[in-house]
Chain A
Amino acid sequence: MALGFTEDQRAFRDVVARFLADKSTPTAVRELMVTSTGYDAAVWKQLSGEVGLLGTHLPEAFGGFGFGPVEMGIIAEEMGRYLYCGPFFASAVMAGYAVLGAGSEVDKLRLLPGIADGSTIATLVLDNLNSPDQVGQQLGATSAADGYQLSGVASMVVDAQVANLMIVAANTPQGISLFEVDPQAQGVAVEALEVLDPTRKLCSVGFTQTPAQLLGEVGQANLDPLWGLMSTMLAHEMIGGAQALFASTLDYLKLRVQFGRAIGSFQSLKHRAADLLLELELAKAATHEAARVLATGEGDLYAPNMAKAMASDAYINIAKQAIQLRGGIGFTWEEDTHLWFKRAKSSEVFLGTSNWHRERMMQQIEETADV
């Protein structure tokens, strides 16, 4: 696949961006972030129906549009830019990719069309959000007469408060497996948590002998590729947010006048802006590269780790400077910068810190070297 985006892909980005610019304004974000559901059902309906974004990455056979990680990345990037509030990441990205990777044909036919058309709001229940290696220590499944039973607690689950389908990763004697759970089933306890980033809702989810249906083969859930896909999409979200903050900060530097000059004319601030641009451009390149690697299967296996590490660092650095360069106003609730700052912080630690991703990358480099 060629570098850069095709004309179709750029047109697609424009459509997504226009929709979000209209629906996900800072005012809308502020309204939604204080609600308990955290999303606008009418916008969700348009997102799934008219605009049709939720099944972008899913094959047509399962109700999707048959595109790949590059197009999905475009959506995630624009959602990050406009700070979209809603279960897109939990349902389409996390649960959607989980079912796509682990489910049997029958599972996919049963579950994916609902995710694609938005009638299903799914989430992926992981009992650890730091590393796939630590998943399965809190949630366990035992086989029962007519399927499986789940028990344990996942302490942080994205958008579980609105989910009508849970895809759960739990340990079994045969290893980690994925299960389908109805949130209304017996023994499911969903509790909303107070969060640092109110645009990304989290709940704790407990299971007590909850009936669950196995997806795919028992013990065969391979979380590494799923983690790579999720990390790549999260990296897109982050570079989208970083671009939005960087642009608004540049505007501020041009408008704000102190000591008789626009503060953007001071070399110390110009040079900081240039440094941030460099970091942003490298992170963008690595993130788009990760989507291309996932789409084509060609390139470094650890491209998603590079993307997540670089996007995390770039986003949080830009967010810190976005506040610093605004001075006092940047620290106020009234100014919008903190909305992105908090998303930068929650994204920085979600699905592995940049240190974790760099270590993962080095492990893979070492493994390939030993072969």
Chain B
Amino acid sequence: MSNAVEGAGSQGPGPSKEQIQTEVGQWLDEHWSVDLSLSAWRTLLVDGGWAAPAWPTEFFGRAFSEEQAAAVSEVFVARGVVGVAQAGPGRLASHTILGHGNSDQKQRYLRSILTGEHAWTQLFSEPGSGSDLAGLTTKAERSGDVWKVNGQKVWNTSAHHADYGLLLARTDWDLPKHQGLSYFLIDMRQPGVEVRPLKQMNGHASFNEVFITDAEILPIDLLGSEGEGWRIAATTLSIERQGFAGDRSGGRARTLVGPIYDEYRDELAIALEPYTWYPQRAGRVDLALPRARQTGAIKDAQVRQELAKLLCMQKGADIAAATAAAAKRSGNNEVVPAGSIGKLAASVIARQASHVHTLASGADAMLAGPASALEGIIAEVLVSVPAISIAGGTDEIQKNIISERVLELPKEPRFDTGPFRDVPRNLADT
């Protein structure tokens, strides 16, 4: 991991947990109030240096270690204090900029991410390059004093709220595909950028399509150097894979009383809206047994078998993940990395859960909406599960990764290693 956040943690021991908690406690006594507006409070937080204590001292932080930063969070949680904006894409932006941006970029962008003043989106995937992300064809060309961008992006979470985007675009067509990409910070509020919601088969519209036509980017918004896009994208993707450690539920702040909490809850509702169906996408294994009891399907020997298989897989996956995590902490490398099989396990489990829900519901599974089983949850499971084996890397890509990196089987022959200009592309695109 090359990003500066992790690097910052290794700068000596610094203050103890107790010292930190005393100091932050005193500071909160003086500054925290539920009557502040969200932006006023976060401005205080950033200026006070408590917004992102793990960040470097020159960029709003205190160069705290993970443990030291956790000590701060502990106090915030205990006192019900609202923290910085932590919607997913903003976090990807801040970590990527911290890791690869220059001082000017960090100064210009990081603060407004922390305060929540500016929202971000990720502009990576394209209709013509899903699994093969590095084969993307959105084009950025130098035109006078600016970069001119043309192309289409897809699967852009929260793009309709975004002020800025993390854009991966091709700047050189004569290099092999990974080498011709560059990474830009693009202003989404300009005429050349059009955002349209993308409705999914389950009826939600959690993502967008973004059409980019002669959009402009100033040279100072090229992140890293020209041609470094793929390397920098790896940082963004690795942060994305870590998931959002931040509390998606909003924690205690969800139920506390005061003007700032109202504003915070509104912000959370917007940030979390794209994810409301994610539990259903994972199959709702928790509902399988109660549902089979509710419908009486539990009495059917075949349903019991399928339900038992589901519970076995879930248990196995839980234990395997916990064992791998424990092994990683203790530095034991004998255990198969959980990440590589965990995602595949999640797909298999979700499909089996959907199967069990179907068997348990019988003809009732023909219905949907609030009047249907469990207020529509079962129906949403049935039409959301197909996404889990695609989103964030298809099962097929996961299996390639497992077989090549874990099992060390030989790679397939490739046809895309030469200049990108000559690489075969979708027939529809040519």
Residues on A lying within 8 angstroms of B by beta carbon are: 2-4, 10, 250, 253-254, 261-262, 264-267, 269-271, 273-275, 277-278, 281-286, 288-289, 300, 306, 309-310, 355, 358-359, 361-362, 365-366, 369
- Asked if residues B315 and A289 are in contact (CB atoms below 8 Å), the reply is yes
| Given known A4-B332, A265-B409, A271-B399, contact A283–B316 (CB-CB < 8 A) | yes
Which residues of chain A are within 8 angstroms of B409 by Cβ–Cβ distance? 250, 253-254, 262, 264-265, 269-270, 273
**B168 CB, min distance to chain A CBs, angstroms:** 26
Which residues of chain B are within 8 angstroms of A253 by Cβ–Cβ distance? 409
Report if B336 contacts A (CB, 8 A): yes
Per-residue interface assignment for chain B, residues 154 to 165, with 1 indicating a CB less than 8 Å from any chain A CB and 0 otherwise: 000000000000
**B414 CB, min distance to chain A CBs, angstroms:** 11
**B331 CB, min distance to chain A CBs, angstroms:** 11
| Given known A4-B332, A262-B410, contact A275–B399 (CB-CB < 8 A) | yes
Which residues of chain B are within 8 angstroms of A282 by Cβ–Cβ distance? 312-313, 316-317, 320, 345
- Asked if residues B400 and A306 are in contact (CB atoms below 8 Å), the reply is no
Which listed residue, B332, B348, B403, B412, touches A273 by the CB 8 Å rule? B403
| Given known A4-B335, A274-B399, A289-B315, contact A358–B309 (CB-CB < 8 A) | yes
Q: Which residue of B lies closest to A253 (CB)?
A: B409
Report if B334 contacts A (CB, 8 A): yes
> Which size bracket describes the interface of B in this complex?
35 or more
Instruction: List which B296-319 residues lie within 8 A (CB) of chain A.
Output: 298, 301, 304-305, 307-309, 311-313, 315-317, 319
Report if B407 contacts A (CB, 8 A): yes
- Asked if residues A277 and B410 are in contact (CB atoms below 8 Å), the reply is no
- Asked if residues B407 and A274 are in contact (CB atoms below 8 Å), the reply is yes
- Asked if residues B316 and A285 are in contact (CB atoms below 8 Å), the reply is yes
Report if B81 contacts A (CB, 8 A): no
Q: Which residue of A lies closest to B344 (CB)?
A: A278
Q: Which residue of B lies closest to A310 (CB)?
A: B312
Which residues of chain B are within 8 angstroms of A266 by Cβ–Cβ distance? 412
**In the complex the two chains form, what is the Cα distance from A365 to B348 in whole Å?**
22
Instruction: List which B253-311 residues lie within 8 A (CB) of chain A.
Output: 289, 293, 298, 301, 304-305, 307-309, 311
Which residues of chain A are within 8 angstroms of B412 by Cβ–Cβ distance? 265-267, 270
Q: Which residue of B lies closest to A306 (CB)?
A: B312
- Asked if residues B404 and A3 are in contact (CB atoms below 8 Å), the reply is no
Report if B402 contacts A (CB, 8 A): yes
- Asked if residues A270 and B308 are in contact (CB atoms below 8 Å), the reply is no
Q: Which of B142-150, B234-242, B322-330 contacts A (4 or more CB under 8 A)?
A: B322-330
**In the complex the two chains form, what is the Cα distance from A264 to B412 in whole Å?**
9
| Given known A4-B327, A275-B399, contact A265–B341 (CB-CB < 8 A) | no
**In the complex the two chains form, what is the Cα distance from A273 to B344 in whole Å?**
13
- Asked if residues A261 and B403 are in contact (CB atoms below 8 Å), the reply is no
Per-residue interface assignment for chain B, residues 364 to 406, with 1 indicating a CB less than 8 Å from any chain A CB and 0 otherwise: 0000000000000000000000000000000010111011101
Q: Which residue of A lies closest to B396 (CB)?
A: A271
Report if B108 contacts A (CB, 8 A): no
Which residues of chain A are within 8 angstroms of B407 by Cβ–Cβ distance? 250, 270, 273-274, 277
Q: Which residue of B lies closest to A270 (CB)?
A: B403
**A246 CB, min distance to chain B CBs, angstroms:** 9
**In the complex the two chains form, what is the Cα distance from A2 to B345 in whole Å?**
23
- Asked if residues A277 and B315 are in contact (CB atoms below 8 Å), the reply is no
- Asked if residues B336 and A366 are in contact (CB atoms below 8 Å), the reply is no
Which residues of chain A are within 8 angstroms of B322 by Cβ–Cβ distance? 3
| Given known A267-B412, A278-B341, A361-B308, contact A288–B399 (CB-CB < 8 A) | no
- Asked if residues B289 and A309 are in contact (CB atoms below 8 Å), the reply is no
Which residues of chain B are within 8 angstroms of A250 by Cβ–Cβ distance? 407-409
Q: Which residue of A lies closest to B410 (CB)?
A: A265
| Given known A3-B323, A267-B412, contact A359–B341 (CB-CB < 8 A) | no
Residue of B323, B398, B403 contacting most chain A CB atoms (<10 Å): B403
Which residues of chain A are within 8 angstroms of B308 by Cβ–Cβ distance? 309, 358-359, 361-362
**A37 CB, min distance to chain B CBs, angstroms:** 36
Residue of B316, B317, B399, B411 contacting most chain A CB atoms (<10 Å): B316
| Given known A2-B326, A4-B327, A274-B344, contact A281–B336 (CB-CB < 8 A) | yes
- Asked if residues B311 and A361 are in contact (CB atoms below 8 Å), the reply is yes
Which residues of chain A are within 8 angstroms of B317 by Cβ–Cβ distance? 282, 285
**In the complex the two chains form, what is the Cα distance from A300 to B407 in whole Å?**
32
Which residues of chain B are within 8 angstroms of A286 by Cβ–Cβ distance? 312, 315-316, 319
Which residues of chain A are within 8 angstroms of B335 by Cβ–Cβ distance? 4
- Asked if residues A274 and B320 are in contact (CB atoms below 8 Å), the reply is no
Q: Which residue of A lies closest to B404 (CB)?
A: A270
**A371 CB, min distance to chain B CBs, angstroms:** 15
Q: Which residue of B lies closest to A286 (CB)?
A: B316
Which residues of chain B are within 8 angstroms of A358 by Cβ–Cβ distance? 304-305, 308-309, 312
Can you name 6 A-B residue pairings with CB atoms under 8 Å? A3-B319, A3-B323, A3-B326, A262-B409, A288-B323, A361-B312
Report if B413 contacts A (CB, 8 A): yes
| Given known A4-B327, A4-B330, A270-B399, contact A285–B320 (CB-CB < 8 A) | yes
Since A265-B411, A306-B312, A369-B293 are in contact, a sample of 10 more A-B pairs with Cβ atoms closer than 8 Å, ordered by chain A residue number, is A265-B410, A265-B413, A270-B407, A271-B399, A277-B406, A281-B341, A282-B316, A286-B315, A289-B315, A300-B315
Which residues of chain B are within 8 angstroms of A288 by Cβ–Cβ distance? 319, 323
**In the complex the two chains form, what is the Cα distance from A254 to B409 in whole Å?**
6
**In the complex the two chains form, what is the Cα distance from A250 to B313 in whole Å?**
24
Residue of B308, B334, B399, B400 contacting most chain A CB atoms (<10 Å): B308
**B324 CB, min distance to chain A CBs, angstroms:** 9
Q: Which residue of A lies closest to B307 (CB)?
A: A362
- Asked if residues B334 and A10 are in contact (CB atoms below 8 Å), the reply is yes
Q: Which residue of A lies closest to B293 (CB)?
A: A369
**A255 CB, min distance to chain B CBs, angstroms:** 10
- Asked if residues B326 and A270 are in contact (CB atoms below 8 Å), the reply is no
**A354 CB, min distance to chain B CBs, angstroms:** 9
Which residues of chain A are within 8 angstroms of B332 by Cβ–Cβ distance? 4, 10
- Asked if residues A281 and B289 are in contact (CB atoms below 8 Å), the reply is no
Which residues of chain B are within 8 angstroms of A309 by Cβ–Cβ distance? 308, 312
Q: Which residue of B lies closest to A366 (CB)?
A: B298
- Asked if residues A359 and B403 are in contact (CB atoms below 8 Å), the reply is no
Which residues of chain B are within 8 angstroms of A306 by Cβ–Cβ distance? 311-312, 315-316
**In the complex the two chains form, what is the Cα distance from A278 to B347 in whole Å?**
11
Which residues of chain B are within 8 angstroms of A369 by Cβ–Cβ distance? 293
**In the complex the two chains form, what is the Cα distance from A366 to B301 in whole Å?**
13
**In the complex the two chains form, what is the Cα distance from A300 to B319 in whole Å?**
13
Closest 10 CB pairs of A and B: A282-B316, A358-B308, A270-B403, A274-B399, A285-B319, A285-B320, A264-B409, A265-B410, A274-B402, A271-B399
Which residues of chain A are within 8 angstroms of B402 by Cβ–Cβ distance? 274, 277-278
- Asked if residues B404 and A285 are in contact (CB atoms below 8 Å), the reply is no
Which residues of chain B are within 8 angstroms of A267 by Cβ–Cβ distance? 400, 412
Which residues of chain A are within 8 angstroms of B408 by Cβ–Cβ distance? 250, 254
**B186 CB, min distance to chain A CBs, angstroms:** 36
- Asked if residues B403 and A365 are in contact (CB atoms below 8 Å), the reply is no
Which residues of chain B are within 8 angstroms of A271 by Cβ–Cβ distance? 396, 399-400, 403
Which residues of chain B are within 8 angstroms of A2 by Cβ–Cβ distance? 326
Q: Which residue of B lies closest to A247 (CB)?
A: B407
**In the complex the two chains form, what is the Cα distance from A250 to B406 in whole Å?**
11
Q: Which residue of A lies closest to B335 (CB)?
A: A4
Which residues of chain A are within 8 angstroms of B326 by Cβ–Cβ distance? 2-4
